[in-house]
Amino acid sequence: MPRLWLSRRVAPIALVSLLSSSSAFAQDESKAPPAPTDQPAITAPADAPQVDPFQIPDGNDPQVLQKFLERLFQTPPANRSLSGRQEHLRKVEAAIAKVQQKELDEATALTSSDMRFQILQFLERSGDPAAAADRQRFIETLSKHKLPKVAERGTLYGLAVRVSGMGGLKADARQKLIDDVAAYIGAGEVSEERYSLATQTPELLAQLGDNELAAKALETFAKAFESRKDDRVSDLVNQLRATGRRYGLVGKPMKVEGKTVDGKPFNVESLKGKVVLVDFWATWCGPCLEELPHVQELYNGYNKKGFEVVGVSLDQEKDVLQAFLAEKKLPWVQLYSEAEGDGGWSNPIARYYGISAIPTAILIGKDGNVVSLNATGRELTALLEKLLGPPDAPKEEAPKSE
Q: Is residue 370 domain-shared with residue 282, that is, in the same domain?
A: yes
Residue 21 resides in a domain: no
Specify the pairing of strand 275-281 against strand 360-364: antiparallel
Residue 43 resides in a domain: no
Q: Is residue 275 domain-shared with residue 352, that is, in the same domain?
A: yes
Q: Which of 198, 223, 247 is the last residue of a domain?
A: 247
Q: What is the CATH number of the domain that holds 290?
A: 3.40.30.10
Mean pLDDT for the stretch of residues 115-135? 96
Longest dimension (CA), the chain: 88
Q: Is residue 261 domain-shared with residue 243, that is, in the same domain?
A: no
Residue 22 resides in a domain: no
Question: Taking Cα atoms as reference points, which of 130, 135, 131, 88 lies closest to residue 113?
Answer: 135
Domain residue limits at 230? 52-247
Query: What's the pLDDT at 261?
Result: 96
Q: Is residue 151 domain-shared with residue 295, that is, in the same domain?
A: no
DSSP reduced 3-state for 88: helix
Task: With a cut of 80, say whether residue 249 has pLDDT above it.
Answer: yes
Q: Is residue 290 domain-shared with residue 141, that is, in the same domain?
A: no
Task: With a cut of 90, say whether residue 52 has pLDDT above it.
Answer: no
Q: Is residue 308 domain-shared with residue 215, that is, in the same domain?
A: no
Residue 200 resides in a domain: yes
Whole-angstrom distance, CA of residue 193 vs CA of residue 97:
23
**Burial zone of 164 (CB within 10 Å; 0-12 exposed, 13-18 middle, 19+ buried):** buried
DSSP reduced 3-state for 334: strand
Number of domains in the chain: 2
Query: What's the pLDDT at 255?
Result: 98
Rounded to the nearest 10 degrees, how much is the dihedral formed by the CA atoms of 206, 210, 211, 215?
Answer: -100
Residue 271 resides in a domain: yes
Q: Is residue 201 domain-shared with residue 157, that is, in the same domain?
A: yes
Residue 204 pLDDT level (bands cut at 50, 70, 90): very high
Whole-angstrom distance, CA of residue 209 vs CA of residue 186:
27
Q: Is residue 299 domain-shared with residue 333, that is, in the same domain?
A: yes
| Among 9-13, 47-51, 215-219, the range of highest mean pLDDT | 215-219
DSSP state for residue 77 in the 8-state scheme? P
Q: Is residue 217 domain-shared with residue 108, that is, in the same domain?
A: yes
Q: Which of 247, 280, 308 is the last residue of a domain?
A: 247
Task: With a cut of 70, say whether residue 221 has pLDDT above it.
Answer: yes
Mean pLDDT for the stretch of residues 320-327? 96
Q: Is residue 175 domain-shared with residue 324, that is, in the same domain?
A: no
Q: Is residue 215 domain-shared with residue 283, that is, in the same domain?
A: no
- Of the listed ranges 191-200, 298-307, 391-400, the least confidently predicted one is 391-400
Q: Is residue 234 domain-shared with residue 177, that is, in the same domain?
A: yes
- Of the listed ranges 117-131, 142-156, 189-203, 383-397, the least confidently predicted one is 383-397
- Of the listed ranges 41-55, 126-140, 369-383, the least confidently predicted one is 41-55
Query: What's the pLDDT at 231?
Result: 78
